[in-house]
Amino acid sequence: MSDFSALKRIETNGPEGHGLTLWPEMNPADLAAGAPVQKGHLYDEDAGEDYSAGVWDCTAFDDKPGPYSVDEFMLLLEGTVVMVMPEGEEVVVSAGEAFVIPKGFECQWKMPETVRKIFMILDGAAPGTANNPSLSRITKLTKEDLTDTARTATPAVSSREVHFLNHDARMSVYTETFPKGSQGPAPSADRQIVHVVAGDVAFSDDPAHRFVAGESFYLSPGHSLSWSVSAGTRLLVSSCRPPAA
């Protein structure tokens, strides 16, 4: 019998019967505007390596401009975020879109309304100088990027497109398409947030272990679960490898 303890359905309102809990106030010294109230739920956390993943909900505020303190993947569920570059250029992210901010990237976070997001954070070592375009931009996946299923039927085999890779290659964000239904092992040494863009993923015949378009789940590393996907399934994955022993 499979052990499903490593598989968690990400509930955007928090776990049933538990909901999102009130989190500590932000430091006013870090804010340019607003008095935000934040709530959330963590699906995984490792304080020793400054890693966390979960759901976050917060009222409007603006941060002060400066370098972003972590590598962070975000799938926006509600609201709008405006990222302002030092030169004044703006990157606007709306509900239904995903984005990644690399650690050390100079920007200002502005949030004109309440936002809810799924997130994965890694606060690793300071960014290096490798020739990696992911480190010099905000990587944004639009609604079209995450809903255009026409592309999933094009390749004859499963394909993966990497959109973000952090400075030491421990954290990556990619989309994966399965033009044909397939079945096989899904064990991974990485922690993963998986969002089903199209199609479905099933770990068993139990509906509790099946995920359809628009749903997300979290996988802890070291499991021995297998999955099956239907033809046309497309996944958005944020993956983080634990540090080497």
pLDDT in tens, 105-137: 999 999 999 999 999 999 977 666 567 888 989
81 neighbors 115 (Cβ within 8 angstroms): yes
Burial class (CB in 10 A: 0-12, 13-18, 19+), 242: middle
**Cα(145)–Cα(152) distance, rounded to whole angstroms?**
11
Q: Is the pLDDT of residue 59 over 50?
A: yes
45 neighbors 8 (Cβ within 8 angstroms): no
pTM: 0.93
Smallest Cα–Cα separation from 199: which of 184, 179, 183?
179
**Cα(123)–Cα(133) distance, rounded to whole angstroms?**
19
Architecture of domain 8-142: Sandwich (2.60)
Burial 204-227 (b: 16+ CB within 10 A, else e): beeeebbbebebbbbbbbebebeb
Predicted confidence at residue 53, as pLDDT, reads: 97
Q: Is the pLDDT of residue 29 over 50?
A: yes
Predicted confidence at residue 149, as pLDDT, reads: 54
Predicted confidence at residue 127, as pLDDT, reads: 63
Q: Is the pLDDT of residue 99 over 90?
A: yes
Tell me the CATH number for domain 146-240: 2.60.120.10
Structure tokens at 89: 């250029």
Confidence of residue 152 (pLDDT cuts 50, 70, 90): very low
Confidence of residue 245 (pLDDT cuts 50, 70, 90): low
What integer best gives the mean pLDDT of the chain? Answer: 90
Predicted confidence at residue 128, as pLDDT, reads: 61
> Based on C-alpha coordinates, what's the Rg of the chain?
18
Tell me where in the chain the CATH 2.60.120.10 domain(s) lie: 8-142, 146-240
Q: Is the pLDDT of residue 185 over 80?
A: no
Smallest Cα–Cα separation from 73: which of 243, 238, 244?
238
Q: Which residue has the tokens 């304080």?
A: 47
For the chain, give the secondary structure using H, E and C.
Answer: CCCHHHEEECCCCCCCCCCCEECCCCCHHHEEECCCCEEEEEEEEEHHHCEEEEEEEECCEEECCEECCCEEEEEEEECEEEEECCCCCEEEEECCCEEEECCCCEEEEEECCCEEEEEEEECCCCCCCCCCHHHHCCEEECHHHHHCHHHHHCCCCCEEEEEEECCCCCEEEEEEEECCCEEEECCCCCEEEEEEEECEEECCCCHHHEEECCCEEEECCCCCCEEEECCCEEEEEEEECCCCC
